[in-house]
């Protein structure tokens, strides 16, 4: 357990009165306290998990490529350009025994992947929960004391740090196989030794990377969980300047941080470096392919507040039949998952280049797929593909244009229409092998 050090005391006698003052620790002494406190905090996090909600926005700065010199200038400026589109992701994050971050869908009972893109393509959220702290305070880049400043009633001490590519173990977020150098700074509360903010900039990104520069800022706060005070990330912002003239901003908030206690159990599908996972995914429902069935959404889903990764509570609207009769009756619980959700604000040049038609401003596109079916109290993986929307009169309410591809059903909400998928909405599906 970290014990707060007792500050040295100086005493002076002025006009017959005794004045006692605390002597502030030097920059090196404060850094030693900060390092010990942060590492103790990080070691505790293996017992905790948080939900991270990421709002991703894409801005168009210009319609042609950006030079390396202009790239750095765009990162440092407040210029955002035209907002093209945005989406929102939601994942649970935890810490494996090795200190690496692991990710899962919200409400899952195990953490399966150490790369969030395996769940959600493009989900560059790794590092902000604990890995950056392990890199900077455990592995030891060069850290220099800059001095103190006032922020309201708080006295903040600032430190710089830097590491070359050879010293670094930080994988760049776009391609986790590429190690990059970095520099940055952090602020700590001089009185409590608590971390307040961390800023990091990735250096010398490879030409193969889409971004020419990137930076991340993480704000921290104290959270009381089961009577234990922890310093956890409150929010973070990652900014990427792409070589093709776009600016990507990922704003992450952390919530619902809690410890797994009592009968709750935190499973890691596979610890990094280990063999077969001890806790496997639900067994797949054993039925033939091509069997038609319908599901009904069993709750209202507000697209305005929904996020990619959110589960959708559903139920069978018709029985699911097998070769020997009914496998699951109507009303059997089914879980679906939102796998794509994008809001279009402006028709940007880059989007027009990669899409067959210019996206219509004001539309919202979302996709969901079926995940599990609960039979006899046991969840089983349900592999299915959506049927053509025209085959099911229940599946095409007027505000939504439906389409299907692969295992996902996609809806496009027209501008100025309701952003609600209402309880009872029915869609047709076919089992898949």
- If asked whether residues 189 and 304 sit together in one domain, one would say no
Whether residue 194 is found in the same domain as residue 230:
yes
Q: What is the pLDDT of residues 15-47, one digit of tens each?
A: 454 444 456 778 899 999 999 999 999 888 877
Hey, is 43 helix, strand or coil? Answer: helix
Asked if 328 and 416 sit in the same domain, the reply is: yes
Q: Looking at the structure, do residues 229 and 368 belong to the same domain, yes or no? A: no
268, 300, 320: which is the final residue of a domain? 268
| Full domain range(s) for residue 109 | 27-268
Q: What's the CATH code of the domain at 309?
A: 2.40.128
Assess if residue 144 is contained within a domain. yes
Domain membership of residue 282 (yes or no) is no
261-288: b or e for each residue (b if 16 or more CB lie within 10 Å)?
eeeeebbbbbbeeeeeeeeeeeeebebe
pLDDT for position 172: 66
pLDDT < 50 regions, the chain: 1-15, 17-21, 261-279, 352-357, 392-393, 395-397
Which residue, 75, 81, 102, 52, is CA-closest to 251? 52
Residue at a domain's end among 268, 302, 329: 268
Give domain status of residue 400, yes or no.
yes
Question: Domain for residue 66, yes or no?
Answer: yes
Same domain for 322 and 424? yes
Reported pTM? 0.79
Q: Is residue 19 part of a domain?
A: no
DSSP 325: E
Residue 375 lies in a domain: yes
114 and 261 share one domain: yes
Residues 310 and 223 in one domain: no
How many structural domains are present in the chain? 2
CA distances from 183 to 91, 108, 149, 219, 312 (A): 28, 36, 21, 17, 42
Q: Could you tell me the two tokens for 222?
A: 């104290």
CATH number of the CATH domain containing 96: 2.50.20
Same domain, 126 and 172: yes
pLDDT at 432: 92
Taking the C-alpha atoms of residue 397 and residue 296, their distance in angstroms, rounded to an integer, is 13
- 72, part of any domain: yes
Domain identity same for 313 and 213: no
What would the pLDDT profile of 229-279 be if each residue is shown by its tens digit? 889 999 999 998 988 888 889 999 999 888 754 334 444 444 444 443 334
Do 172 and 86 belong together in one domain?
A: yes
Q: Which residues contact 328 (CB under 8 A, 6 or more apart)?
A: 316, 319, 320, 373, 375
One domain for residues 164 and 248: yes
Same domain, 198 and 63: yes
Pick from 336, 338, 271: which is nearest to 91 by CA? 338
Determine which helix (DSSP H) or strand (DSSP E) holds 169, and give its type and residue range.
none
């Amino acid at each position: 357990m970290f014990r707060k050090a007792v500050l040295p005391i100086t005493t002076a006698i002025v006009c017959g009165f005794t004045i006692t003052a605390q002597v502030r620790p030097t920059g090196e002494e404060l850094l030693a306290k900060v390092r010990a406190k942060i590492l103790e905090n990080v070691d505790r996090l293996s017992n905790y998990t948080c939900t991270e909600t990421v709002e991703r926005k894409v801005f168009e700065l210009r319609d042609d490529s950006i030079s390396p010199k202009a790239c750095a200038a765009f990162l440092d400026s407040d210029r955002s350009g035209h907002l093209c589109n945005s989406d929102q992701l939601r994942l649970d994050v935890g810490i494996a025994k090795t200190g690496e971050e692991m990710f899962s869908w919200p409400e899952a009972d195990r953490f399966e992947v150490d790369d969030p893109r395996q769940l959600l393509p493009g989900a560059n959220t790794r590092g902000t929960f604990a890995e950056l702290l392990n890199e900077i305070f455990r592995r030891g880049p060069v850290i220099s004391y800059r001095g103190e400043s006032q922020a309201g009633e708080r006295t903040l001490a600032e430190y710089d740090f830097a590491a070359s590519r050879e010293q670094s173990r930080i994988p760049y977020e776009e391609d986790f196989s590429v190690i990059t150098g970095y520099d940055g700074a952090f602020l700590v509360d001089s009185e409590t030794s608590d971390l307040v903010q961390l800023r990091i900039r990735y250096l010398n990104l490879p030409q193969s990377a889409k971004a020419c520069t990137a930076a991340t800022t993480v704000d921290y706060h104290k959270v009381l969980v089961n009577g234990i005070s922890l310093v956890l990330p409150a929010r973070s912002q990652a900014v990427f300047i792409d070589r093709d003239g776009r600016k990507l901003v990922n704003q992450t908030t952390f919530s619902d941080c809690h410890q797994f206690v009592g009968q709750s159990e935190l499973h890691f599908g596979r610890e990094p470096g280990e063999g077969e996972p001890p806790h496997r995914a639900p067994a797949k429902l054993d039925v033939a392919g091509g069997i038609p069935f319908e599901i009904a959404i069993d709750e209202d889903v507000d697209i305005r507040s929904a996020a990619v990764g959110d589960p959708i509570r559903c139920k069978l609207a018709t029985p699911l039949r097998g070769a020997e009769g009914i496998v699951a009756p109507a009303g059997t619980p089914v879980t679906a998952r939102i796998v794509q959700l994008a809001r279009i604000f402006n028709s940007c040049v880059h989007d027009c280049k990669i899409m067959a038609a210019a996206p219509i401003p004001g539309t919202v596109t979302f996709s969901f797929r079926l995940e599990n079916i609960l039979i006899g109290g046991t969840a089983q993986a349900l592999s299915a593909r959506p049927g053509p929307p025209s085959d099911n009169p229940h599946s095409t309410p007027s505000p939504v244009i439906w389409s299907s591809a692969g295992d996902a059903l996609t809806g496009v909400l027209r501008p100025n229409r309701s952003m609600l998928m209402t309880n009872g909405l029915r869609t047709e599906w076919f089992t898949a092998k």
